[in-house]
Every structure is written in C-alpha cells, then in structure tokens.
C-alpha cells in the first residue's frame, strides 16, 4: 500500500483526516474553556492540570492529523478554488499548532508553581481556539462547498444513493 493511500484512509474506506482532526480540535477547545473557568476561579487546581494535558494531547493529535490533511490536499489541482482554500486551511492550522506549542511552553514554565492560568496562557488559548474555529470553517467549505474528498472512496455507491433519492446529478465523465 502506498503512503498516500494509507494517509488518505483508503484502507478504511473513508478519509482519515476528518476523523483525526477532532482529537486536537476537541482537546484544545477544552483547554481554552478550562482556562477561562480557571480565570473565573472555578476548579482552579484540577482544571489547570486537565488543561495542561489537553494541550499536550492536542499537540500529539495534531502531529497525526497534519500528514493526513496534506495527503488529502496534495492531489487537488492548483487552479481549483479548493486548492487555495486548502492552503489557507493548512496555514491557519500550522499557525494554531505553533500558538498551542507556545501555550504549552508557557504552561511548562508555571507547572511547579501555584495552580492557575497566567494572562499569556489565556491569550494564547483563546487565540489558538479562534484560529481553529476559522480554519475549521474553511475546511468545511472545502468539503461541503467544493466536494473535496467527497465520494473519493465510493463514488459509484454514493451516486446510486443520490439517484435513488432523485438528486440532481451532473453527467458522468
């Protein structure tokens, strides 16, 4: 099996990237929520530690998700609008990873001190979560507006389902 086939999830019968991105996305959003709660003096000690592990788990998950996203984006022709959307999506995600890595570094600096969240940690959490939200929206536009990777693994099957549902379909090439 080729590496791109593996990264694209052909062995699963569906794209791998959408399944993997939920790991860092969910963990990082949780970290940002926990950080806000800590700043409001709610569950300070336990949420500070949970947030730390959410950021760490998100970074590990991102390293699994990035290659699958690149493998899905690489075959898109450069002249297609989805290619540019994919580029923006990738650049925003890379920026988010760097921000979350910086966030993690800030957390390491205060790990042995009193539990809590510093202002730089909170700012990088909120900025990282915001970037992920924007990037996720762009990623969804690639799939839902441009059809990126839709039906790649089972085009005939999905076309038959659409035809049975009386969907308007373009002519087959």
| pLDDT tens, per residue, the chain with 173 residues | 688 677 777 777 777 888 889 999 999 999 999 999 999 998 888 899 999 999 999 999 999 999 998 888 888 889 988 889 899 999 999 999 999 999 999 999 877 776 789 999 999 999 999 999 999 999 888 877 766 665 555 566 766 776 787 766 666 65
By the 8 A CB rule, do 85 and 141 touch? yes
* The pLDDT value given to residue 39: 93
* The pLDDT value given to residue 169: 62
* The pLDDT value given to residue 135: 95
User: What would the two tokens of residue 107 be?
Assistant: 């957390």
Tell me the CB-side half-sphere exposure of residue 74, using CA atoms within 13 A.
12
* The pLDDT value given to residue 59: 98
Number of Cβ within 10 Å of residue 1's Cβ equals 7
CA distances from 9 to 85, 129, 147, 152 (A): 21, 27, 17, 10
């Amino acid at each position: 099996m080729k590496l791109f086939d593996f990264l694209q999830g052909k062995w699963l019968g569906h794209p791998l990237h959408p399944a993997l991105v939920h790991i860092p996305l969910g963990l990082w959003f949780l970290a940002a929520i926990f950080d806000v709660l800590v700043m409001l003096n709610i569950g300070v000690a336990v949420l500070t530690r949970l947030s730390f592990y959410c950021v760490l788990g998100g970074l590990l998950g991102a390293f699994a998700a990035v290659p699958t996203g690149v493998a899905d984006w690489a075959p898109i022709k450069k002249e297609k609008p989805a290619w540019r959307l994919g580029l923006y999506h990738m650049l925003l995600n890379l920026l988010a990873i760097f921000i979350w890595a910086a966030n993690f570094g800030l957390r390491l600096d205060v790990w042995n001190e009193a539990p809590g969240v510093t202002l730089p940690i909170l700012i990088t959490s909120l900025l990282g979560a915001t970037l992920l939200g924007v990037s996720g929206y762009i990623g969804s536009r690639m799939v839902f507006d441009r059809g990126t990777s839709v039906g790649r693994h089972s085009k005939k099957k999905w076309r038959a389902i659409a035809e049975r549902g009386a969907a308007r379909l373009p002519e087959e090439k």
